């Protein structure tokens, strides 16, 4: 359903060197609009599992503007730290 609204993919859990959560949060922010479109689309409503509490909770979260504002705030705090880590995470002296 999501792919009907976006060409981007949702990041899946994986082992990375560092900053995995920063990457996931920044990607989620990029796909915010397609996520919202997905959870209000007719295919979502027709989906058998859309009536489950987990699905309803996900839908509420995707539509919650405060959640997205909080995510932006977290990224604003973490981005300078992430940049410093990226600059210093290389071979040799930095």
User: Per-residue pLDDT tens for 13-48?
Assistant: 666 666 777 888 888 898 899 889 988 898 888 888
pTM for the predicted model, two decimal places: 0.73
Q: Is there a domain that residue 73 lies in?
A: yes
Q: Is there a domain that residue 86 lies in?
A: no
Q: Is there a domain that residue 90 lies in?
A: no
Number of domains the chain contains: 1
Domain range for residue 55?
2-8+19-79
Q: Is there a domain that residue 75 lies in?
A: yes
What is residue 5's DSSP assignment?
T
Q: Is there a domain that residue 35 lies in?
A: yes
Please give the mean pLDDT across all residues of the chain.
Answer: 83
Q: Is there a domain that residue 59 lies in?
A: yes
**How buried is 3 (Cβ within 10 angstroms: 0-12 exposed, 13-18 middle, 19+ buried)?**
exposed
What is the mean predicted confidence (pLDDT) over 55-73? Answer: 93
**Residue 90: pLDDT above 80?**
no
């Amino acid at each position: 359903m999501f792919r009907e609204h976006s060409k981007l993919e949702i990041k899946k859990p994986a082992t990375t060197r560092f900053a995995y959560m920063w990457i996931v949060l920044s990607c989620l922010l990029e796909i915010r609009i397609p996520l919202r479109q997905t959870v209000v689309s007719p295919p979502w409503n027709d989906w058998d599992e859309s009536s489950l509490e987990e699905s309803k909770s996900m839908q509420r979260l995707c539509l919650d503007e405060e959640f997205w504002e909080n995510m932006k705030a977290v990224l604003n705090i973490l981005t300078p730290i992430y940049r410093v880590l990226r600059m210093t995470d290389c071979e040799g002296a930095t």
